[in-house]
């Protein structure tokens, strides 16, 4: 990414002023939302966009009256903004849904109707269940589901992936980045291999899109899913489809529903305020970038924020690495392509107890498997439970330092 955009500590403090939730205190302690992988906080312009919709046009689409026409325009604009964020050709590539999981199930049901007994589907041992469960369900259609193994390093076994992709493979469902340990997977290799046998490539970008510019124009997946609540927007799911890909599928659809992409997988009435909020979230991110077009601007912003977040991740990794009894999981930060998500355990201390003690002083982190039980099982994580710290654009080094001090205290007391 060539860009003259910089996002530094000063930019972070400027951004922080936009997020009302960051002013909260918990028992007198400043709140530190280090739970971004679970969902980010929402800046004022996104809240304002949603409030504006409720104030002025909380109506159905395609009506012959002004608020409905305005709503149609806003929704189209939001699809265009997301298309720019994902590097897509246009709004007809962007379907909206309740969340990523629901869209993945809808997509799987549609693809399932094209599956024949003996067809092979590939999922990975690293992925969130939302990119495993919907595909595993297709065993009901006679599909055989195989898993790309996870290595003890926290990376996928690409030699095994190469062996597992055969003429029988119909699709590979791959996470771009692990929400549990931050690994970024080799999407280019996945595309090469799937293309060589005519299989579909389905990418789960839920944990990737908040931290890396997405270029569907370069990666060329058949489908890519993400969720706006992970990148400063509301709880809305997004499905990108390669031109023609969605139109080729027998989706679940009412006869009254529009039968073309992006609408043919969008069942029922969606939230207009939510969709407007998604558009506003992309616009908000674009404020931090420079470029000739919105696509360039939002990509430059995300790339610059990623550098900042990576530095925080690197700092935290090194600080925790030095603490006795603390074990870090996954690849370290010498890899540039790694999400700023740090998962650790402390010997003989329950992950939930650590999260609780951090929570008491206002530091919000998740513990558990984060709906990705397979990697913690494969990696033999004690108690199958990690403590996960995720950095977002509004996190600071001070917050990371506070966390390190608290973890050091927990580790000393054990």
Ligand X SMILES: Cc1ncc(COP(=O)(O)O)c(C=O)c1O
Which residues of this protein are in contact with ligand X, per CB under 6 A? 99-101, 128, 130-131, 175, 179, 204, 206-207, 227, 237, 371
Nearest distance, CB of residue 195 and ligand X, angstroms: 23
- Nearer Cβ to ligand X (119/222): 222
Q: How does strand 341-346 pair with strand 386-390? A: antiparallel
- Tokens representing 325 are 């009894």
Nearest distance, CB of residue 210 and ligand X, angstroms: 10
- Nearer Cβ to ligand X (150/300): 150
Nearest distance, CB of residue 390 and ligand X, angstroms: 10
Residues 6+ apart with CB under 8 A from 341: 37, 178, 179, 180, 181, 182, 207, 313, 388, 389, 390, 391
- Nearer Cβ to ligand X (132/170): 132
- Nearer Cβ to ligand X (228/303): 228
- Nearer Cβ to ligand X (79/128): 128
Nearest distance, CB of residue 179 and ligand X, angstroms: 3
- Nearer Cβ to ligand X (288/370): 370
- Nearer Cβ to ligand X (37/362): 37
Nearest distance, CB of residue 270 and ligand X, angstroms: 14
Nearest distance, CB of residue 237 and ligand X, angstroms: 5
Nearest distance, CB of residue 355 and ligand X, angstroms: 16
Residues 6+ apart with CB under 8 A from 198: none
Whole-number Å distance between alpha carbons of 205 and 189: 16
């Amino acid at each position: 990414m060539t860009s003259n955009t910089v996002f530094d500590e000063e930019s972070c403090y400027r951004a922080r002023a936009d997020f009302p939730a960051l002013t909260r205190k918990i028992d007198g302690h400043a709140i530190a939302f280090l739970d971004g992988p679970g969902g980010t906080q929402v800046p004022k312009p996104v809240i304002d966009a949603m409030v504006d919709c409720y104030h002025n046009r909380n109506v159905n689409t395609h009506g012959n009256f002004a608020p409905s026409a305005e709503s149609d325009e806003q929704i189209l604009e939001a699809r265009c903004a997301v298309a720019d964020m994902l590097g897509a050709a246009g709004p007809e590539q962007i379907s909206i849904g309740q969340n990523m999981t629901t869209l993945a199930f809808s997509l799987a049901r549609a693809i399932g109707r094209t599956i024949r007994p003996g067809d092979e589907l590939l999922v990975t041992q690293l992925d969130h269940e939302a990119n495993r469960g919907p595909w595993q369900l297709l065993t009901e259609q006679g599909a055989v589901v195989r898993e790309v193994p996870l290595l003890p390093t926290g990376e996928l076994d690409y030699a095994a992936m190469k062996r597992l992709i055969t003429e029988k493979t119909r699709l590979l469902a791959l996470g771009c980045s692990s929400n549990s340990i931050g690994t970024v997977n080799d999407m280019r290799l996945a595309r090469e291999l799937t293309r060589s046998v005519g299989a579909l490539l389905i990418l789960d970008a839920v944990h990737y899109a908040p931290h890396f510019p997405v270029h569907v124009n370069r990666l060329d997946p058949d489908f890519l899913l993400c969720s706006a609540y992970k990148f400063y927007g509301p709880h809305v799911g997004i499905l990108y489809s390669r031109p023609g890909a969605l139109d080729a599928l027998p989706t679940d659809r009412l006869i009254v529903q529009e039968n073309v992409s992006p609408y043919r997988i969008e069942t029922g009435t969606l939230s207009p305020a939510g969709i407007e909020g998604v558009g506003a979230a992309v616009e908000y991110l674009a404020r931090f970038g420079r470029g000739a077009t919105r696509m360039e601007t939002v990509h430059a912003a995300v790339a610059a924020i990623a550098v900042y977040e990576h530095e925080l991740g690197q700092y935290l990794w090194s600080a925790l690495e030095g603490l006795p009894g603390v074990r870090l999981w996954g690849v370290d930060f010498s890899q540039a392509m790694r999400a700023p998500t740090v998962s650790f355990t402390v010997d003989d201390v329950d992950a939930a107890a650590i999260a609780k003690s951090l929570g008491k002083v206002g530091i919000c982190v998740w513990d558990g498997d984060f709906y990705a039980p397979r990697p913690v099982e494969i990696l033999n994580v004690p108690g199958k439970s990690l403590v996960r710290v995720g950095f977002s654009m509004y996190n600071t080094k001070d917050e990371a330092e506070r966390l390190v001090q608290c973890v050091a205290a927990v580790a000393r007391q054990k």
